[in-house]
Amino acid sequence: MPRRSLLALLLMLVSPPVTAQTKPSLEPGAPPLAEQRYLTGRNLYRQGNLAGAADEFRTAFDLFPESPKLAFNLGRVSERLGRLSDAADYYRAYLRLAPEATDRAEIEALVASLDRRLDDQQATLVLTTEPLGAEVFVDGGATAAGRTPLTVRLAPGEHALRVALDDHETALRTIDLAAGQRSAITLRLEPAEAAAPPAPPPPGPRATRTPDEDAAWMPWAVVGVGGAVTVTGAVLLAQAVGAADDRDALLREGGSVDEAQGLDDDARLYQTLGWAGVGVGLAAVGAGLAWWLLDDEDATISLGPWGPAGAAAQVRF
């Protein structure tokens, strides 16, 4: 046997068997798609594509939110991207998902360090209201930042706040915060003015309906006026909704808080007048119909005589 072949055979006999390399994986029970996105994120991270890795890890975490490994990786890549607030939140999620983690003390110290850096870079707003439980919208956002009492970090600069609570007047406030500043604000929310109750229907006249055409049109005139007032009230309610939408759009676009306050006042005025108009109009319609239908037992409508025989008809209510 040639010397080279003999050497190869000896190496095969003494060398340990080669096993297939195990892929890095998530915890047991991970969906296959989450596993795939995690592996893609690892490759992107090794290539230096931090933003791409963050997107892949985030998608995997949405699919498998029970994974401490994904929470830790998201914290690490967010920290390297300079997203300190996200990094602190993901590290907290890691500690919550892995209560027995051996590096718990190290990660807790890292979270505390990130919080200190955030305090230096951002401003902190502590907002309370009387009463509590109001929703807080920042800079015209469509989604509330939370309910009072609320502590929120904001970038330095001017911010527009809208604070809303059912059955209370909406409060608008502009605040100017500096980096590292911690500002505490308490707002008192005034109860909303109650809308005027619908006017009670006027007592229907106890008129006797006769063939006299001068009196027959009066109940229907009341019904017509009531219908017109009802329609006017509905138009005012629509204008109230439009004014509220304009107010929210103005705040989202960074408009003046004074202009937004004016639109908010218009919305409340239109709403009050609209409901009053609808109530009064419907009451008038009801009164007109009652006038026509409800009368004393002797009230009749006489029709006739008809035809050559002089036939007549009476309707009694």
Residue that wins the pLDDT comparison between 203 and 239? 239
Which of 118, 136, 166 is the C-terminal boundary of a domain? 118
How many distinct structural domains can be found in the chain? 3
Total Cβ atoms within 10 A of residue 246: 17
Torsion, Cα of 106, 107, 108, 112 (10° steps): 100
Shared domain for 304 and 220, answered yes or no, is: yes
Structural domain includes residue 4: no
Calculate mean pLDDT across residues 215-223.
71
Determine the pLDDT at residue 138. Answer: 92
Which of 84, 118, 152 is the C-terminal boundary of a domain? 118
Tokens 């985030």: give the residue. 58
Among 135-149, 167-181, 268-282, 299-313, where is mean pLDDT lowest?
299-313
Shared domain for 34 and 72, answered yes or no, is: yes
94: left (phi over 0), alpha (psi -120 to 50) or beta: alpha
Confidence of residue 204 (pLDDT cuts 50, 70, 90): low
Mean of pLDDT over the chain: 79
Confidence of residue 268 (pLDDT cuts 50, 70, 90): confident
Domain assignment of residue 151, given as a range: 123-188
AA identity, residue 2: P
Residue that wins the pLDDT comparison between 143 and 120? 143
In sequence order, what are the beta bridge partners of 222? none
Q: Which phi and psi angles does 206 have, rounded to 5°?
A: -90, 70
Structural domain includes residue 72: yes
Shared domain for 218 and 280, answered yes or no, is: yes
Total Cβ atoms within 10 A of residue 38: 24
CATH code of 170's domain: 2.60.40.2070
Concatenate the DSSP letters of all residues of the chain into one string: --HHHHHHHHHHHHSPPPPPPPPP--STT--HHHHHHHHHHHHHHHTT-HHHHHHHHHHHHHH-TT-HHHHHHHHHHHHHTT-HHHHHHHHHHHHHH-TT-TTHHHHHHHHHHHHHHHHHHSEEEEEEEESS--EEEETT-SS--EESSEEEEE-SEEEEEEEE-TTB--EEEEEEE-TT-EEEEEEEPPBPPPPPPPPPPPPPP-PPP-S-HHHHTHHHHHHHHHHHHHHHHHHHHHHHHHHHHHHHHHHHTT--HHHHHHHHHHHHHHHHHHHHHHHHHHHHHHHHHHHHH---TT-EEEEEEETTTTEEEEEE-
**Percent share of the chain, pLDDT over 70:** 78
The answer on pLDDT for 3 being more than 60 is no
Q: Which phi and psi angles does 316 have, rounded to 5°?
A: -115, 140
The answer on pLDDT for 169 being more than 50 is yes
Structural domain includes residue 2: no
Structural domain includes residue 193: no
Confidence of residue 22 (pLDDT cuts 50, 70, 90): very low
Under 8 Å between Cβ of 221 and 252: no
Under 8 Å between Cβ of 201 and 222: no
pLDDT in tens, 173-192: 899 988 888 889 999 999 98
Structural domain includes residue 206: no
Encoding tokens for residue 182? 């911690």
CATH code of 70's domain: 1.25.40.10
Shared domain for 127 and 107, answered yes or no, is: no
Shared domain for 86 and 135, answered yes or no, is: no
